[in-house]
């Protein structure tokens, strides 16, 4: 027992030492002050808070999304203090918000996407286009078919390509739905009376695209009650599911961790395993088509 207590004391001492060293950086110190939490809470998240400071430094003098150096393009890994815990999510920057405000025309383009209009001149897209073409030829709602986890750089056309597939399959009376994941979470919160109908629909529709996963603010509710429930149901009932993300699968797992506690890491891993069960993992590194 004495040895265990000694190890705990050393661990706490190391945490405090690292926190004190980090506080020598004035930006780190100001960030902690804005959270209005105790040092005892803050020191548990020293490393993650240092990541935030690093990303904020990247934002200083940034001229636009094309110059973004952060882990998730157009976002800052930012902390929020609540109920004696600090959680982290990706907060959009002014350039990302501006880009989103100008996406009405892009939405119309996606709504009308067709295979025949896909640009095949970029060889980086060949692998993905071949996969989508084969899927179109072989898909049958009654069969167990894996969807696609398509990740890659911002503006590479991930959503457009999958939308083109869905639009082509609609001609064969295949039902499909595309949900922009951060917006879906917001809509559910604002219209909770319709929660059951929304969830049942997303569980049952033949083809579902969860678009831009990884750009949302992660909470235990959004991860476990919404995303986890939808994925478990679709996996059990062999419903084909697609995802787009600017994060690869390892980065997405990190994103889905609300805290550093072991049980929280297990929950994030559980979501990732469901995604792996449901999809084939492909990357799309291409030119930014939203320039």
What pLDDT tens digit does each residue of the chain (291 aa) get?
A: 444 455 455 556 778 889 999 999 999 999 999 999 999 999 999 999 999 999 999 999 999 988 899 988 899 999 999 888 999 999 999 998 887 776 655 566 777 778 888 878 888 888 999 999 999 999 988 888 999 999 988 777 899 999 999 999 999 999 999 999 988 998 888 787 889 999 999 999 999 999 999 998 889 999 999 999 999 999 999 999 999 999 999 999 999 998 878 888 999 999 999 999 999 999 987 666 555
Whether 108 and 242 map to the same domain: the answer is yes
Q: Among 66, 271, 255, which residue's Cα sits nearest to residue 153?
A: 66
Residue at which a domain ends, from 65, 97, 129: 97
Whether 90 and 116 map to the same domain: the answer is no
Q: Go through 151-184 and write b for each residue having 16 or more CB atoms within 10 A of its CB, e for each that does not.
A: bbebbbbbbbbbbbbbbbbeeeebebebbbbbeb
On whether residue 291 sits in a domain, the answer given is no
Look at residue 8 in the predicted model and tell me its pLDDT: 52
Whether 274 and 207 map to the same domain: the answer is yes
Look at residue 183 in the predicted model and tell me its pLDDT: 87
The structural domain count of the chain equals 2
Look at residue 107 in the predicted model and tell me its pLDDT: 65
On whether residue 56 sits in a domain, the answer given is yes
On whether residue 92 sits in a domain, the answer given is yes
Residue ranges of alpha helices (H) inside the chain are: 2-22, 26-35, 39-42, 46-59, 94-101, 104-111, 126-138, 158-170, 181-190, 195-204, 220, 228-236, 249-255, 262-278
Q: Among 70, 48, 73, which residue's Cα sits nearest to residue 57?
A: 70
On whether residue 81 sits in a domain, the answer given is yes
| Count of H-run helices and E-run strands, the chain | 14, 7
On whether residue 290 sits in a domain, the answer given is no
Whether 278 and 182 map to the same domain: the answer is yes
On whether residue 218 sits in a domain, the answer given is yes
Q: What's the CA gap between 249 and 243, in Å, rounded?
A: 11
Whether 41 and 124 map to the same domain: the answer is no
Q: What's the CA gap between 13 and 16, in Å, rounded?
A: 5
Whether 252 and 206 map to the same domain: the answer is yes
Whether 23 and 163 map to the same domain: the answer is no
Q: What's the CA gap between 51 and 86, in Å, rounded?
A: 14
Residue at which a domain ends, from 51, 73, 97: 97
Look at residue 7 in the predicted model and tell me its pLDDT: 43
Look at residue 78 in the predicted model and tell me its pLDDT: 93
Whether 215 and 123 map to the same domain: the answer is yes
On whether residue 289 sits in a domain, the answer given is no
Whether 76 and 138 map to the same domain: the answer is no
On whether residue 34 sits in a domain, the answer given is yes
Whether 93 and 136 map to the same domain: the answer is no
CATH of the domain at 249: 3.40.50.300
Whether 257 and 182 map to the same domain: the answer is yes
Residue at which a domain ends, from 68, 97, 126: 97
CA Rg value for the chain: 21
Whether 230 and 161 map to the same domain: the answer is yes
Q: Which domain holds residue 26?
A: 2-97
């Amino acid at each position: 027992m004495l040895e265990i207590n000694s190890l705990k004391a050393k661990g706490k001492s190391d945490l405090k030492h690292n926190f004190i060293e980090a506080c020598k950086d004035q930006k780190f110190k100001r960030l902690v002050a804005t959270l209005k939490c105790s040092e005892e809470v803050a020191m548990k998240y020293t490393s993650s808070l240092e990541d935030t400071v690093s990303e904020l430094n990247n934002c200083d003098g940034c001229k636009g999304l094309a110059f973004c150096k952060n882990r998730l393009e157009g976002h800052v890994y930012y902390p929020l203090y609540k109920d004696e815990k600090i959680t982290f999510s990706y907060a959009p920057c002014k350039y990302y918000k501006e880009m989103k405000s100008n996406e009405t025309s892009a939405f119309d383009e996606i709504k009308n996407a067709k295979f025949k209009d896909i640009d095949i001149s970029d060889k980086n897209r060949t692998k993905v286009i071949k996969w989508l073409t084969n899927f179109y030829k072989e898909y049958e709602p009654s069969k167990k078919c894996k969807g696609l986890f398509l990740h890659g750089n911002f503006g590479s056309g991930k959503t457009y390509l999958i939308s083109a597939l869905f639009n082509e399959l609609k001609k064969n009376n295949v039902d499909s739905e595309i949900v922009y994941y951060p917006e879906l979470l917001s809509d559910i919160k604002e219209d909770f009376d319709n929660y059951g109908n929304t969830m049942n629909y997303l569980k049952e529709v033949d083809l579902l695209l969860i678009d831009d996963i990884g750009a949302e603010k992660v909470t235990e509710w959004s991860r476990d009650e919404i995303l986890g429930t939808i994925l478990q149901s679709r996996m059990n009932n062999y419903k084909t599911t697609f995802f787009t993300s600017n994060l690869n699968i390892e980065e997405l797992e990190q994103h889905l961790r609300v805290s550093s506690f072991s049980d929280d890491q297990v929950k994030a891993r559980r979501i990732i395993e469901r995604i792996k069960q449901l999809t084939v993992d492909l990357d799309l590194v291409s030119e930014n088509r939203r320039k």
